[in-house]
Amino acid sequence: MRDMVSDETLALAAADGDAEAFSQLLSRVYDRVFALGFRLTGSRAEAEDLTQDICAALPGKLRGFDGRARLTTWLYRVVVNAAHDRRRRAASHARAVEGWGDVELARRAEADQTREQLGWLAEAMQALPDDLRETLVLVLEPLSHAEVAQIQGISEGTVSWRMSEIRKRLRALKEAET
Amino acid sequence: MSDEFDKLAQSLRAATPSPDETRKAANIAEAEKIFAASQGSRDSARQTLERPKRGVLMRGLDVMLKSLSPRAALGATTAIALVGVALILPTLEVGAPEVVRDVPKPVSSMDAPLEEALATPRQKSTGTATGGLMSMEPAPAPAPSADFEFEVMNVAPGGNNGTVRMYSGQPAAELGDVQMRAPLVDQFYAPESTSEAYPEAETNPLKVTVEDPVSTFSIDVDTAAWSVLRNMIEAGQLPAPETVRIEEMVNYFPYDYPAPGEGSAFRTGVTVADTPWNAHTRLVHIGIQGALPDVEDRPPLNLVFLVDVSGSMDDPRKLPLLKQSLRLMLGELRPEDEVAIVTYAGASGVALEPTRAGDRATILAALDGLGAGGGTAGQAGLQEAYALAEKMSEDGEVSRVLLATDGDFNIGLHDPDALKEFIADKRETGTYLSVLGFGRGNLDDALMQALAQNGNGMAAYIDTLSEAQKVLVDQLTGALFPIADDVKIQVEFNPAQVAEYRLIGYETRALKREDFNNDKVDAGDIGAGHQVTAIYEVTPVGSPARLTDPLRYQATADAGSDELGFLRLRYKAPGAAESRLIETPIVEGSETTDDMRFAFAIAGFGQLLRGGEYTGQWDYGDAVALANGAKGGDPFGYRAEALRLMRLVGTMAE
């Protein structure tokens, strides 16, 4: 039983060639990776593809895990980078940009209230530039500003600034509605 | 406001679907297959010796390399030099997170340079890391031995493009193994577009006004280059010329520019002055001062400083620095804010009952009375601080506990989670926590971060007074909040007055001429109270310093204006889509201040570091003399520090 073992320990074992540890780790983090992928891209299909990419690359990438950073911090950086990567590829660009469109969300929304809320969410997320959206999603994970800074490769101050900017934009959005 | 934010957080959580189970199973199975396949080569390699733990370290290297910007890489080399680990070789990527973390100085500067880490193509980082290494004193390589984690790395001759290979003493199989890994990792991180600007751009070239009268760039308030430079110089190295960013050096220093008038976001001052390094050219100094909006709408603050005075704080970089930092912050508080101090060591106690910030004498006396000694009993102190904060809190006021510690935080509880819960609880009641770390050594970053995060606050590391200034003062005055977005500067020079011109620094910030009026093109932002300085060196028409010959058939420019040029500045109010325009003519006649002379000295110093293409006989000694004469009040000692570094470089360069 390895249920009590930390992510980091599992990752190091996997990095050292332990297949069982790798499998266990992957099932542990799979849903988190997918959820983050969805929040970053706003598209279920995109998130599925992204998660698949990451699964395939993880055996190789894990060897780069040094056990000092929290596994989640490390992993989130992998996800964020992979999302960047996908966005850069011209083919999927249009799709990714439309990601936070309302089709996907509205379809799943049942009650009117929920639909309205989701519509608002899509609008809010779409209104944010990619980098702000990324920061937001990571902070809400929740991660500390320092971790987010590390993941995004920016300074902590920039994270804080971005968060204030996001709040401001949300406020502006609200004012625009009323 | 937080309603909207919470709503977003909630909706986002609610909207996130579960992954498709079938695909999940397939993806995991696929990953397992890849994992197993990748083990084959490893297992065969492993037969030769028991798997060394160091492998993990080396892999850490690889990751770091991928994420290192050239500047960060340089910082890392410095770090490595300090701990006495030798990495030398023809092509080598460098950086070991583990090692770096334990090094006192360079680390603080690592965070900022990382800003560009992801944006920088990897190839480039290899090149610069090498450059940095070349300038290092090669240390003798110890004999290969399996006893140390990080002793010698060796790159096989003709190695494939900078792939780090492992210990020279190991059998070829192991080397082969490492080589095999590279493609696996790389395939995910295929080289990306090369359209991004490299930080180490070529020095801005001289422009001939008749051919190219317009110069356009984005402002830059990033100052990280200075810290990187400081760390390198203090470690006895000269930076690679292309990593020197003059605009960041110049902008690191605060200048006393006049404040903007009522209602303007900022004020632009343009001054034409003599060039220190060339008697026949002129410098155009452009100084932009951002407005410092009144923070009147902020409610009064209640601050409880919870100060660690345990024995380990008895170090110039800890308690004394902490006192100075708090003193610095005090100056930024409004009289109606309240301050209290709680100490913790062997026993916790209230060193200062809640006192209005207006009563500076009492607060300063209490601060001065703090002395280090005894063990740490953090939890009692924390409870005391919170109790005090709650007492101080009135309706609508913000209470914050500022925990200042070197991280040796013996919480009394062995369960950090319980402590986090305690802090999170308190957050609900309206008391926030920020953690300030001092000194290196036993600083428990993770715990600090966790505490601050649960307290809805920030955790910051303070290693110098300037860092304190940045973290404490700037946070308070709201410099984190921009007052103008996308600030662009365009200067059109008058060919009748200026034969040639050259922008000093801002190499990576150049914009196309047409981008100036295009509001879609992103540029730098400016925060409350920020200052930006840009300097042009211009050669007047008829000056013997002219480097290019005038054209014979070019129509003579209209001499109707004695303006040297015309400055246009565009900015957007934060969040606005449309930009506004500020226009200022560039004319002779304004007085040159010490601030400007100091900026010139730094700009000259930066140019010397970059190779001194345009500085003639002017040398480090001249830079020191100029800066020394223009030091001014220097309330925070930034300029004194600069002088010290300039002198150091002067002796190194001899």
What whole-number distance in Å separates Cα of residue B239 and Cα of residue B229?
A: 7
- DSSP type of residue B276: T
Same-domain pairing of A73 and A28: yes
Percent of chain B with pLDDT over 70: 59
Residue that is written with structure tokens 């040398």 in the block: B619
Please tell me whether residue B84 adopts helix, strand or coil conformation. coil
Residue B593 is predicted with a pLDDT of: 92
Q: Of A50-59, B134-143, B384-393, B527-536, which gets the smallest average pLDDT?
A: B134-143
pLDDT, tens digit, 9 for 90 and up, residues B582-622: 899 999 888 889 999 999 999 999 999 988 888 889 999 99
pLDDT, tens digit, 9 for 90 and up, residues B451-480: 665 665 556 667 677 667 766 776 565 434
For residue B14, being part of any structural domain is answered with no
The type of residue at B241 is P
Disruptive mutation site among B30, B50, B59 for chain A (greatest number of A CBs within 10 Å): B59
Same-domain pairing of A169 and A82: no
Q: Retrieve residue B250's tokens.
A: 């110049």
First CA to last CA distance, chain B = 59
Same-domain pairing of B352 and B395: yes
Neighbours of B410 (CB within 10 A): 13
Same-domain pairing of B468 and B487: no
Strand partners, B460: B436
Per DSSP, chain A holds a count of helices (H) and strands (E) of 10, 0
DSSP secondary structure letters along A33-45: HHHHHHHHH--HH
For residue B8, being part of any structural domain is answered with no
Residue that is written with structure tokens 């490390």 in the block: A74
For residue B202, being part of any structural domain is answered with no
Contacts of B575 in chain A (CB under 8 A): 168-169, 172
Strand spans (E) along B31-162: none
Residue A142 is predicted with a pLDDT of: 82
Residue B72 is predicted with a pLDDT of: 43
Same-domain pairing of A33 and A50: yes
Contacts of B188 in chain A (CB under 8 A): 53, 57, 60-61, 82, 85
Residues 6+ apart with CB under 8 A from B499: B208, B209, B539, B540, B541, B542, B543, B546, B548, B550
What whole-number distance in Å separates Cα of residue B279 and Cα of residue B276?
A: 7
φ and ψ at residue B353, rounded to 5 degrees: -70, 160
Same-domain pairing of B310 and B452: yes
- Do B56 and A15 make contact, defined as CB atoms within 8 angstroms? yes
Look at residues B451, B475, B499 and tell me which one is the last residue of a structural domain.
B475
Residue B426 is predicted with a pLDDT of: 74
Averaged pLDDT of chain A? 79
Nearest to B8 among A14, A27, A170 (CB): A170
Residues 6+ apart with CB under 8 A from B522: B218, B486
Structural domain for B405, as ranges: 301-475
Buried (b) or exposed (e) across B146-173, using 16+ Cβ within 10 A? eeeebbbbbbeeebeebbbbbbeebeee
Same-domain pairing of B470 and B486: no
- Do A155 and B98 make contact, defined as CB atoms within 8 angstroms? no
Residue that is written with structure tokens 């300038």 in the block: B135
CA distances from B630 to A70, B256, B270, B624 (A): 48, 12, 19, 10
Instruction: Provide the CA B606 distance to its chain's centre, in angstroms.
Output: 17
Residue A155 is predicted with a pLDDT of: 86
Look at residues A99, A119, A143 and tell me which one is the last residue of a structural domain.
A99
Structural domain for A62, as ranges: 1-99
Selected residues 43-72 of chain A with any CB under 8 Å from a CB in chain B: 44, 47-48, 51-53, 55-61, 63-70
Averaged pLDDT of chain B? 69
For residue B199, being part of any structural domain is answered with no
B525 pLDDT higher than 90:
no
What whole-number distance in Å separates Cα of residue B556 and Cα of residue B543?
A: 16
Neighbours of A133 (CB within 10 A): 22
Disruptive mutation site among A66, A76, A113, A178 for chain B (greatest number of B CBs within 10 Å): A66
The type of residue at B558 is D
Say if residues B304 and B342 touch (Cβ distance below 8 Å): yes
Say if residues B208 and B548 touch (Cβ distance below 8 Å): yes
Q: Of B78-92, B147-161, B616-630, which gets the smallest average pLDDT?
A: B147-161
Q: Retrieve residue A159's tokens.
A: 């994270």
Same-domain pairing of A87 and A13: yes
Neighbours of B133 (CB within 10 A): 23
Same-domain pairing of A137 and A124: yes
What whole-number distance in Å separates Cα of residue B578 and Cα of residue B599?
A: 32
Same-domain pairing of B288 and B361: no
For residue B200, being part of any structural domain is answered with no
Same-domain pairing of B86 and B64: yes
Q: Of A33-42, B197-206, B385-394, B580-589, which gets the smallest average pLDDT?
A: B197-206
Residue B157 is predicted with a pLDDT of: 37
The domain spanning residue A26 has which CATH number?
A: 1.10.1740.10
Say if residues B57 and B63 touch (Cβ distance below 8 Å): no
For residue B422, being part of any structural domain is answered with yes
Same-domain pairing of A40 and A18: yes
Any B CB within 8 A of A31 CB: yes
Same-domain pairing of A14 and A84: yes
Whether ipTM > 0.90 holds is no
Say if residues B617 and B261 touch (Cβ distance below 8 Å): no
User: Residue B209, by phi and psi: left (phi above 0), alpha (psi -120 to 50) or beta?
Assistant: alpha
Residue A77 is predicted with a pLDDT of: 87
Q: What is the reported pTM?
A: 0.43
Same-domain pairing of A95 and A105: no
Residue B452 is predicted with a pLDDT of: 63
Look at residues A45, A78, A99 and tell me which one is the last residue of a structural domain.
A99
Same-domain pairing of A73 and A95: yes
Residue that is written with structure tokens 């715990």 in the block: B447
Residue B409 is predicted with a pLDDT of: 57
Look at residues A81, A99, A117 and tell me which one is the last residue of a structural domain.
A99
Say if residues B462 and B325 touch (Cβ distance below 8 Å): yes
Look at residues B426, B447, B475 and tell me which one is the last residue of a structural domain.
B475
More confident residue, B387 or B114: B387
pLDDT band at A178 (very low <50, low <70, confident <90, very high): low
- Do A85 and B188 make contact, defined as CB atoms within 8 angstroms? yes
Residues 6+ apart with CB under 8 A from A70: A7, A8, A147, B446
What whole-number distance in Å separates Cα of residue A54 and Cα of residue A33?
A: 9
Nearest to B115 among A85, A158, A164 (CB): A158
The domain spanning residue B468 has which CATH number?
A: 3.40.50.410
Neighbours of A162 (CB within 10 A): 25
Same-domain pairing of A82 and A109: no
The type of residue at B183 is P
The type of residue at B396 is G
What whole-number distance in Å separates Cα of residue B372 and Cα of residue B347?
A: 12
Same-domain pairing of B275 and B254: yes
pLDDT band at B215 (very low <50, low <70, confident <90, very high): very high
Please tell me whether residue B275 adopts helix, strand or coil conformation. strand
What whole-number distance in Å separates Cα of residue B646 and Cα of residue B620?
A: 7
Residue B174 is predicted with a pLDDT of: 35
Any B CB within 8 A of A176 CB: no
φ and ψ at residue B562, rounded to 5 degrees: -95, 10
Strand partners, B29: none
Same-domain pairing of B31 and B125: yes
Distance from CA of B243 to the nearest CA of A (A): 18
Nearest to A26 among B19, B28, B38 (CB): B28
- Do A30 and B27 make contact, defined as CB atoms within 8 angstroms? yes
Please tell me whether residue B154 adopts helix, strand or coil conformation. coil
Same-domain pairing of A142 and A70: no
Same-domain pairing of A69 and A117: no
Report which secondary-structure segment, H or E, holds B648. helix B638-653
B167 pLDDT higher than 60:
no
**Could you give the number of structural domains in chain B?**
3
Same-domain pairing of B271 and B365: no
Residue B224 is predicted with a pLDDT of: 55
Residues 6+ apart with CB under 8 A from B579: B486, B488, B519, B570, B571, B572
Say if residues B526 and B264 touch (Cβ distance below 8 Å): no
Say if residues B638 and B597 touch (Cβ distance below 8 Å): no
Same-domain pairing of B407 and B445: yes
For residue B503, being part of any structural domain is answered with yes
CA distances from B477 to B295, B331, B333 (A): 7, 11, 9
Neighbours of A166 (CB within 10 A): 21
Buried (b) or exposed (e) across B432-464, using 16+ Cβ within 10 A? bbbbbbbbbeebbebbbbbbbbbbbbbbbbbbb
Residue B83 is predicted with a pLDDT of: 40
B40 pLDDT higher than 90:
no
More confident residue, A117 or B288: B288
* For range B618-636, the mean pLDDT: 89
Neighbours of A20 (CB within 10 A): 12
Percent of chain B with pLDDT over 90: 14
For A11, which residue in chain B has the nearest alpha carbon? Answer: B56
Look at residues B475, B499, B514 and tell me which one is the last residue of a structural domain.
B475
Distance from CA of A55 to the nearest CA of B (A): 5
Residue B163 is predicted with a pLDDT of: 32
**Could you give the number of structural domains in chain A?**
2
Distance from CA of A79 to the nearest CA of B (A): 11
Nearest to B15 among A15, A105, A156 (CB): A105
Same-domain pairing of B624 and B524: yes
The domain spanning residue B506 has which CATH number?
A: 2.60.40.1230
For residue B78, being part of any structural domain is answered with yes
Residues 6+ apart with CB under 8 A from B410: B375, B376, B377, B378
Say if residues B542 and B280 touch (Cβ distance below 8 Å): no
DSSP secondary structure letters along B301-354: EEEEEEEE-SGGG-STTTHHHHHHHHHHHHTTS-TT-EEEEEEESSS-EEEEEE
Nearest to A121 among B1, B2, B11 (CB): B11
Say if residues B229 and B112 touch (Cβ distance below 8 Å): no
Residue B275 is predicted with a pLDDT of: 93
Any B CB within 8 A of A160 CB: yes
Buried (b) or exposed (e) across B583-601, using 16+ Cβ within 10 A? ebebbeeeeebbbbbbbbb
Same-domain pairing of B330 and B280: no
Q: Of A14-28, A124-138, B41-55, which gets the smallest average pLDDT?
A: B41-55
Distance from CA of B638 to the nearest CA of A (A): 21
CA distances from A87 to A32, B466, B592 (A): 20, 39, 50
